[in-house]
A and B are shown apart, each in its own frame.
Chain A
Amino acid sequence: MVTVGVLALQGDVLEHLEILRELGASSKLVKRPQDLQGIDGIIIPGGESTTIGELVKASGLLEPLREMIEKGLPTLGTCAGAILLAKRVRDRVVGETSQPLLGVMDIGVLRNAFGRQRESFVAEVELEGIGRMRVAFIRAPIIEEAWGRSRMIGYVDHPQLGKAGAAAVQDNAIAVTFHPEITGERRLHEHLLERIKR
């Protein structure tokens, strides 16, 4: 039986748990370093990336989690999760941020890229090797650049911004800037489970 950890310090943890339950995978809430024992993969949910980052640090998870992902733990980061995985982060309005990051993927992320909440939207994206899906972009970031071992696998077509990076993969980790869990989309979770079983 596969056990997927869900980083449960803040954010839409419940939605991810419900999808994992539907897919028949067992899940485990990760709030403390000892919770990392026995997990076969991890989901970093959406939420506020500054909050999750501060709490990851305060809970003593920053180093052990970073090490496990670097050693090959299958990982899915959605929205705030993608920000935490990135090595470079800046904000559209405020510029450079000093927030704590896991910094394990060779990607650069622009926070709040589409604007404020009134500019949040639902759209379709095509992810290489996974398929076309309807997902929610909520105060979403975009992936501006992918270098090194990282590779872009999906874009969103936006009326103002044009084609913007929405998903990237690097070895065992996938970062998406949107929320598949809010529209009930399950294929990214299925993909994570397949990666774990491989």
Chain B
Amino acid sequence: MKLVDAYAYLERLRDLIYALLEERDKRKEGGLRVEEATPLVKYGFISMFKGGVIMDVTNEKQAQIAEDAGAVGVMILDKLPYDVRMAGGVARTADANVILSIASSVTIPISAKCRIGHAGEARLLEELGVDLIDESEVLTPVDERSHINKWEFKTPFVNGARSLPEALRRIYEGASMIRTKGEPGTGNVAEAVKHMKLVNRDIATLRGYYLAKDYEAIWVYAKENKVPYELALLTARLGRLPVVNFAAGGIATPADAALMMWLGSDGIFVGSGIFKSQDPEGRARAIVLATAHYDDPETVVEAQRMISEKASMMGIDIRTLKPEQLMQVRGE
């Protein structure tokens, strides 16, 4: 099975669980010659990010640095995750004027974060022309029990996940892309590694059931983990997550990025790691290079030499965080 077959399957699944057939017929009568913003167009767009780095930025200048360094996209926030952690209070979506100014100054896709469950912020971001919306645990959640119904949007969504069941629930809600949650703003890649390995192990288990034709085991997995059987089966058949899966949360150096790529990430989100360092320009370039050439140790060394460890963000040991300070537990 191919990844694009999974995309076609998910597109049909959308029609099943969320009947937009009527609207589709209406558009046919209207004589439109193009099908805009279908699920396939969303998954396809995300597919273009593969092997790339999306960088957190808070202003036009940082966005320009990211583009020049070869980022595949920028993620616009009001404050970098590290600063969100330090500032406390309520973290909301970014300033609309900042989003518009960045949109008119860079050619690469722009993403922005909205609060978990805050469909109003998501609508605002869609209206502003944001290319990808991150329903993110970095911001203060408004409704952790029910995430946004992402099928209703033209704009693709990315969601964080700590495990395969969490990822599949987000895909079922319409997310076009998944990323590990990690522990944002810490400069510590430990949690991202943990989450990526958990997802990989579950996929390997499901793949094993599939190859052994043990559909009953896949059924039980789906039931026990509160995920739809269809998506558990799709993952088992494909042997990977049926959408693009990036690593996020604590990536601070080229070596961190290369490690996450080795673990099977399709690409990298860097949050505070670049603009909380003392050498953002060189570091941004180095992380892009290490992500593309993760399988070539010589180039990773070359990338690592482009940065100085003395300039890396200090970072936070996760064991020193109190349970209420953890962002990864928000919205499962």
Residue A91, interface by CB 8 Å: yes
Chain A residue, CB-CB nearest to B295: A31
Residues of A within 8 A of B156 (CB): 117
Within A79-118, the residues touching B (CB, 8 Å) are 79-80, 91, 93-94, 97, 111-112, 115-118
B-side interface size class? 35 or more
Residues of B within 8 A of A179 (CB): 44
Most B C-beta atoms less than 10 A away, residue of A80, A112, A118: A118
Chain B residues with a Cβ under 8 A of chain A: 2-5, 7-8, 32-38, 40-45, 47-52, 67, 69-73, 103-109, 126, 129-132, 154-156, 285, 288-289, 292-293, 296, 299
Residue A13, interface by CB 8 Å: yes
Q: A117-B155, A182-B7 are in contact. Are A159 and B33 (CB under 8 A)?
A: yes
Chain B residue, CB-CB nearest to A100: B70
B5 shortest CB reach to chain A, Å:
8
- 11 CB < 8 A contacts A-B: A8-B51, A11-B48, A15-B2, A18-B4, A117-B45, A118-B129, A119-B36, A120-B44, A124-B33, A138-B48, A139-B48
Chain B residue, CB-CB nearest to A90: B107
A25 shortest CB reach to chain B, Å:
15
Are A12 and B47 in contact (CB-based, < 8 A)? yes
**B107 partner, pick from A18, A94, A117, beta carbons under 8 A:** A94
Most A C-beta atoms less than 10 A away, residue of B4, B154, B296: B4
Are B44 and A14 in contact (CB-based, < 8 A)? no
**B45 partner, pick from A31, A51, A120, beta carbons under 8 A:** A120
**B4 partner, pick from A13, A79, A120, A182, beta carbons under 8 A:** A182
B120 shortest CB reach to chain A, Å:
17
Q: Chain A 51-74 against B: per-residue CB contact (8 Å), 1 yes, 0 no?
A: 100110011000000000000000
Bound Cα distance from A180 to B71, whole angstroms:
24
Chain A residue, CB-CB nearest to B67: A50
Are A31 and B292 in contact (CB-based, < 8 A)? yes
Most A C-beta atoms less than 10 A away, residue of B7, B72, B107, B132: B107
Bound Cα distance from A31 to B299, whole angstroms:
11
Are B34 and A121 in contact (CB-based, < 8 A)? yes
Residues of B within 8 A of A169 (CB): none
A155 shortest CB reach to chain B, Å:
12
Are A10 and B52 in contact (CB-based, < 8 A)? yes
